[in-house]
Each structure stands twice: as C-alpha cells, then as structure tokens.
Amino acid sequence: MDIQTKIGVAGAGTMGTGIAQVASSAGHEVIVFDNSRDALDRSATGLRKTMNRLVEKGKLSEQDAKSLLGRIRHVTGADAFRECGMVIEAIVENLDAKRSLFNEVEKQVDDTCVLATNTSSLSIASVGGRCRLPGRLLGVHFFNPAPLLPLVEVVPGLDSEQGLAEKVRDIVKTWGKVPVIARDTPGFIVNRIARPFYGEALRVYEEGIAGFAEIDAAMKTLGGFRMGPFELMDLIGNDVNYQVTASVWEQMFYDPRYRPSITQQRLFEAGRLGRKAGRGYYAYADGKPVDGVPAEPGPHGEEVYLRILCMLINEAADALYLGIAGKDDIELAMTKGVNYPKGLLHWADELGAREVYESLCRLREDYREDRYRPSLLLKRMAADNGRFFT
C-alpha cells in the first residue's frame, strides 16, 4: 500500500469525515460512501468549512486545501469502492449493519483490498466473522476528532492474516498518526486502561470521601492531568461514557473492576449528559462551566489521587501481563490517546511497584472486593523490586 492506494470510507458521520480528511491530507484519493444523502451533504459542507478555517488560520495554503478537497469524492453507492486498496468502515455501531456492509463491499473490491472497522465496542472477530475473506479484515480505531488526535489502535482479529496489522500500522504512520497494536479484547487499550479514571473517581465520590470538584482538583494539581475525571466525563458525555463502561463490563463477564456507577447511570437517565446538555456534574452556559472548578484538592486529596492512580497503573500492568499490547504501545496509547501527563508504567516505576502493589492490597483488605485485586505482574514486580523500564 502506498500513496497511490485509493481509500474507501464507509459512513460520512463524525468519524468517517475525519478519517477521510486524514487520508486525503496524506495524499490519497478518498471515496466516502453513506446511505444517507443528508449525511453526505453534511460531511462535504463540514470538510469545506474545516478547510476554510485552516486557511484563515494560516495552517494550510489555499492551494493545499483545494487539492485536499479535490481528492475526496462523496458517493451514494458502495460500487464506487471498486478500485480501493483499503476500505475503512465508520458506520453506525451495530453488528448486523457492519456485517452486511462488508458483505456488500466484498462484492465490489478485489481480493487484495484491506478491510478495516473503526468500531469502538464490537469485537473484530465478530465483525469479520461473516466475511468471505476474513483474513483481510482488522480494526483501525481512530479517536475523535480523528484529524487532531494522533493515536490509532490497530487491532488484528482472530482470523486476520499474519503481518496485516504491521502493514496497516505502517500506512497509518505515513498519515502522521501514532499507531499502536492491540489485541482484540474489550475496550482495546485506551478504553480498557482508562476505566478507573472515571470508575474509581465515582466510587470515591459515592463514598463521600471527596466532592467531585475536589477529586478533579486532586487529579489536576497533584497528578498533572489536564482535566479531572468529572470534567472529562461531562466533556465526553455521560451517555457515551456510561455506555462504554457498561459495554466493557458486560464483555468482561461482569468483572467488578469495570462495574459502572449508579451515580453516572442516574445522570444519564436524567439527561444530564454534560457540556452538550448544559448540565452534568457541573452546569454549563455556552459550553463553558458556570461555577468553575475550585483549585483545592480538599483534605483527602493525596489519598484520592494515589487511589485512582494505583487503579490505573494496575490496569496498565494487567494489560501488559495479558498481552493486550506491548509496554511502549501501552505508554503511547495513554499519552497520545487520552493525553495523560505520563505513561502509567513509567509512573509505576517512579512510585515503585511495591508501593503501588501495597496500596492495592490495603484497598482489597479494607473492602474485601475483587475490584481491588492487584495484577499478578505487579505482585511479582513488588517481590523483586522490579521496574517496567530500565
């Protein structure tokens, strides 16, 4: 695959439009297909607006903007994918819809065309399972907004051909992205490891140890996170964040580590979805918080920060232990995908594996809940005074 490869994008929504922009700005011709005329129009108009903005800001020349738009074609039929070397699917998150789309695409493209799904919550095995040639399908998970966020999780499925992930990783790299390879497991890397940032913060809040503004302040001032968990949940949307948590929890066969929170479920049910609804944990006017977030982490700030951080490190260590991804990719995923100030495994080295392990053991002892079970890798490292990086 090279710059001459025509890229097909199925779905002209938020992600499809962003992915089309990324591929075109790297020099590919891009065919965007959607079954809704309105979605295609919105996508084309949105891209024109984005280009105008970039030109106004001096980030792109008028000529480059024109060429980028000129390489993207919006179409109403998947037959236009005929000459594509790769088709990336970003349609609705529904297994049957994705399977039938790929069946249709397979009738159009030749046998060497790579098929990729941008699914966030379905397994790659299930999406590829009904393909005529499942070996050429894999996950290519972009983050929103795709043109701005550098991370892309490349996820081979059970039947993906040997070497396909590496081939796709290399092409995604030429698009200026930071690709990491992840195993086909719930949440892949980022949406799995990041769960305690929200879940443990909610738990601490529910127990009355700290208020949500104090927890946000603790994570920002003591941990250096750009946003606190509650601010971030309000930005992501309490509907989206709740549903991701519930989906990972169910797919993990109800492992208590990933259990959703009733507090967040109630916000979701009440329509307090966050910034987009004007109300979540905080109140918003014109998309900005009304009250601001107090800068004080409160009397339990240090305890709260360490508790959430140790839970995050435990997830990262366990993901490494279970071979979800390599340690460099785990660090890249969390720093480039969700802007963590440091990789969690480097953070563990700073704190000391024993310190992290003992914090988790104390929580487990206090609560007697499996939620706090330390990763076996962390336990072994604590015993040997081990480090993730030398």
Ligand X SMILES: NC(=O)c1ccc[n+]([C@@H]2O[C@H](COP(=O)([O-])OP(=O)(O)OC[C@H]3O[C@@H](n4cnc5c(N)ncnc54)[C@H](O)[C@@H]3O)[C@@H](O)[C@H]2O)c1
Q: Residue 144: what are its φ and ψ, rounded to 5°?
A: -95, 125
* Binding piece for ligand X, criterion CB under 6 A, among 6-14, 241-249, 312-320, 344-352: 6-14
In the complex, minimum distance from the CB of residue 359 to ligand X, in angstroms, rounded to a whole number: 32
Nearest residue (beta carbon) to ligand X: 13
| β-bridge mates for residue 32, sequence order | 9, 74
What are the Cα distances from residue 276, in Å, to 12, 273, 284, 339? 21, 7, 9, 21
Question: Which of 8, 25, 28, 34 is in the footprint of ligand X by CB under 6 A?
Answer: 34
Q: Is 108 in the site for ligand X (CB under 6 A)?
A: no
User: Using CB under 6 A as the criterion, what x/- string covers residues 129-158 for binding ligand X?
Assistant: -------------xxx--------------
Question: Which of 44, 72, 87, 101 is in the footprint of ligand X by CB under 6 A?
Answer: 101
Reading the block at residue 209, the tokens are 């140890």
Q: Residue 181: what are its φ and ψ, rounded to 5°?
A: -105, 130
Please name which of 47, 96, 111 lies closest in space to residue 73, comparing C-alpha atoms. Answer: 47
Question: Which of 13, 150, 278, 386 is in the footprint of ligand X by CB under 6 A?
Answer: 13
Total number of residues shown for the chain: 390
Tell how many helices (H) and how many strands (E) occur in the chain: 17, 10
Q: Which is nearer to ligand X, 147 or 211 (CB)?
A: 147
Within 13 Å, how many C-alpha atoms sit on residue 9's CB side? Answer: 29
* Binding piece for ligand X, criterion CB under 6 A, among 117-125, 177-185, 212-220, 312-320: 117-125
Check if the beta carbon of residue 317 is closer than 8 Å to that of residue 309: no
b/e code 256-266 from CB counts within 10 Å (16+ = b) = ebbbbbeebee
Please name which of 88, 104, 62 lies closest in space to residue 5, comparing C-alpha atoms. Answer: 88
User: Using CB under 6 A as the criterion, what x/- string covers residues 244-263 for binding ligand X?
Assistant: --------------------
Q: Is 91 in the site for ligand X (CB under 6 A)?
A: yes
Reading the block at residue 163, the tokens are 């070497």
Is beta strand 284-285 parallel, antiparallel or unpaired with respect to 288-289?
antiparallel
Please name which of 321, 386, 320, 314 lies closest in space to residue 354, comparing C-alpha atoms. Answer: 386
In the complex, minimum distance from the CB of residue 44 to ligand X, in angstroms, rounded to a whole number: 12
Question: Which of 35, 221, 251, 265 is in the footprint of ligand X by CB under 6 A?
Answer: 35
Grouping H, G, I as helix, E, B as strand and the rest as coil, residue 93 is: coil
What are the Cα distances from residue 266, in Å, to 124, 207, 210? 31, 16, 19
Q: Which is nearer to ligand X, 35 or 67 (CB)?
A: 35
In the complex, minimum distance from the CB of residue 59 to ligand X, in angstroms, rounded to a whole number: 23
Q: Is 126 in the site for ligand X (CB under 6 A)?
A: no
Q: Is 119 in the site for ligand X (CB under 6 A)?
A: yes
Q: Which is nearer to ligand X, 145 or 278 (CB)?
A: 145
Q: Is 29 in the site for ligand X (CB under 6 A)?
A: no
Question: Which of 1, 69, 75, 97 is in the footprint of ligand X by CB under 6 A?
Answer: 97
Please name which of 153, 163, 144 lies closest in space to residue 184, comparing C-alpha atoms. Answer: 153
- How many residues in the shown chain lie near ligand X by CB under 6 A? 23
Catalytic residues: 120, 141, 153, 191
Question: Which of 9, 15, 105, 140 is in the footprint of ligand X by CB under 6 A?
Answer: 15
Q: Which is nearer to ligand X, 184 or 318 (CB)?
A: 184
| β-bridge mates for residue 288, sequence order | 285
* Binding piece for ligand X, criterion CB under 6 A, among 68-76, 113-121, 132-140, 285-293: 113-121
Residues near ligand X (CB under 6 A):
10-16, 34-36, 39, 90-93, 97, 101, 118-120, 142-144
